[in-house]
Amino acid sequence: MTRRHDDPLAGLPQAFDAQGSSFFEVLRRQAPDAVPELLRTGELPARLRDELVEGTTVLAITARDGVVVAGDRRATAGHQISRGDIRKVFPADDWSAIAISGAAGPAMELARVFATELEHYEKVEGEPLSLEGKSNKLGHMVRANLGLALQGLVVVPLFAGVDPRDLTGRIYEYDPVGGRYRATEHAASGSGSLAARTTLKRLHDRGATVEQAAHNALEALFDAAEEDAATGGPDLIRRIYPIVAIMDADGYRELEDTAVAEMLEEVIDPRRR
């Protein structure tokens, strides 16, 4: 039995509803107008596409006892720098992070729906999803964006975290059609990813602590900023530093600006003349 939309009991769950624990499906059924355009697919006027704000480089790297996700703070619109303090790394829940590059608006919306999705599942089911399950769900959401991706509104998240059951850090990459790939050591996404990946490959160390991995992440972001015009370096004048999120046995935490500034000093110092 399906209840009508205006029935006061429309929100009651149905038995054997396979989508019942998904916030995204609930949103689609109960508040269809609130579903982000990104996840509903539709036409985007060409005029808007030129004013689109794009986020640039984000990356993730594994360590011995966890995983690190970091991103620069620049957003561009065409050849303009539209923002210098944008956030591209978000906590998805207490154990994982989602980092976004590509069309910034829809990507942030994706991160928000996804974080709500994970919390919703945890509350309804009484226990959190496995890391593999979370990454799979995100793949479905990226796939739902295929229509807009074909028009150039590409959103490719990077998802990383530790599974609270076995405490191993894992990284998942996506492609615009929702393909999901597990990266064993490191991953980078966005316009500066080529340069970042070279550095990550050179510096990655299986036995590194999360702090060393965070240092390596900053090295990679710095190199990306030097090679790629759309990636912002650390803004030492205004003290705007990359966001560095660490996930380990204690869960998700972000490094304080002062800690990032100290690490950056170690990155910058050898390059000084």
Neighbouring residues of 33: CB distance < 8 A, sequence distance ≥ 6: none
Catalytically active residues, by annotation: 56
Q: Which stretch binds other proteins (CB under 8 A): 111-119, 136-144, 156-164, 217-225?
A: 111-119
Least distance (Å) between residue 10 CB and other proteins: 9
2, 16, 43, 126: residue in contact with other proteins (rule CB under 8 A)? 126
> Is 32 a binder of other proteins (CB under 8 A)?
no
DSSP secondary structure of 26-55: HHHHH-GGGS-GGGT-----HHHHHT--EE
> Is 31 a binder of other proteins (CB under 8 A)?
yes
d(CA 166, CA 26): 30
Nearer Cβ to other proteins (1/48): 1
Nearer Cβ to other proteins (12/48): 12
> Is 3 a binder of other proteins (CB under 8 A)?
no
Nearer Cβ to other proteins (124/146): 124
Which pair of structure tokens corresponds to residue 55?
Answer: 């986020």
The residue type of 19 is Q
Q: How many CB atoms lie within 10 A of CB 271?
A: 9
> Is 16 a binder of other proteins (CB under 8 A)?
no
Neighbouring residues of 219: CB distance < 8 A, sequence distance ≥ 6: 199, 203, 267
Nearer Cβ to other proteins (122/175): 122
Q: Tokens 């944008």 map to which residue?
A: 86
At residue 208, the 3 state secondary structure works out as coil
Nearer Cβ to other proteins (33/43): 33
Q: Which stretch binds other proteins (CB under 8 A): 24-32, 132-140, 145-153, 233-241?
A: 24-32
The torsion angle over the Cα atoms of residues 193, 195, 201 and 203, rounded to 10 degrees, is: -120
- β-pair type (75-77, 155-162): unpaired
49, 51, 85, 112: residue in contact with other proteins (rule CB under 8 A)? 112
Which pair of structure tokens corresponds to residue 270?
Answer: 């050898």
Least distance (Å) between residue 85 CB and other proteins: 21
Residues at the site binding other proteins, with contacts judged by CB under 8 A: 8-9, 11-13, 20, 23, 26-27, 30-31, 34, 112-113, 116, 119-120, 123-124, 126
